[in-house]
Structure 1
Amino acid sequence: MTVDLTGAEWFKSSYSNPDGDCVEVAFLDSGLIGVRDSKNPNGSALLFTHGDWDAFTAGVLDGQFNRPHS
């Protein structure tokens, strides 16, 4: 699938270091959510449906992706 990302408004988390390399997110007009690497803004982006995005963010909030403590 090809999606035009030209007019996408990308943003970073407020927790991001303003000078650091981060993940950026855009809520696209097509109804998809784009995720890209801020170091490579012209590179490819991952695309998610709203359902997939909601499941991912719920998992983050629930701690499902926390690294195990050693």
Structure 2
Amino acid sequence: MTLKKPDPSTLDLSDVDWQVSTFESGGGGNCIRFGRKGEWILISDSHNPDGPPLVFTKKELEAAILGAKDGQFDHLAGLG
């Protein structure tokens, strides 16, 4: 059974422990940040912490990570 993703504006994000990559992203600590709220994986812009996050399932994040490890998105960053 697939649960309907919540509207990000309905989530209480005050207790989310956000994580930012330790790899440099151009200075100023600006990077994509990741968090978890219950079963949902949240991704947002650390430069705009008050903006709404994108909401994903663990399987969606897993597919993205595996694709990145495989180099499928390297061209987006000018790496391939």
For residues 68 and 52 of structure 2, what CA distance do their matches in structure 1 show? Answer: 23
Per-residue CA deviation, residues 19-53 of structure 1 (Å, 9 max, x unaligned), is 2311110122x111111101110111001000101
For residues 9 and 57 of structure 1, what CA distance do their matches in structure 2 show? Answer: 20
For residues 55 and 69 of structure 1, what CA distance do their matches in structure 2 show? Answer: 20
RMSD value, Cα: 2.1
- Pick one of 14, 22, 30 that aligns with 1:6: 14
- TM-score, scaled to structure 1: 0.83
Instruction: Tell me the residue number matched to 2:31.
Output: 22
Q: Is 2:56 the counterpart of 1:48?
A: yes
Report % sequence identity. Answer: 32
Instruction: Report the CA distance shift for 1:59/1:6 in structure 2 as closer, same or farther (over 3 A).
Output: same
Runs in 1 of length 4+ with deviation above 6 angstroms? none
Per-residue CA deviation, residues 3-29 of structure 1 (Å, 9 max, x unaligned), is 22110011111113562311110122x
- Is 53-62 or 8-17 further displaced after alignment? 8-17
Instruction: Tell me the residue number matched to 1:58.
Output: 66
Letter in 1 for 2:35: A
| Structure 2 residues without counterparts, runs of 5 or longer | 1-5
| Structure 1 residues without counterparts, runs of 5 or longer | none
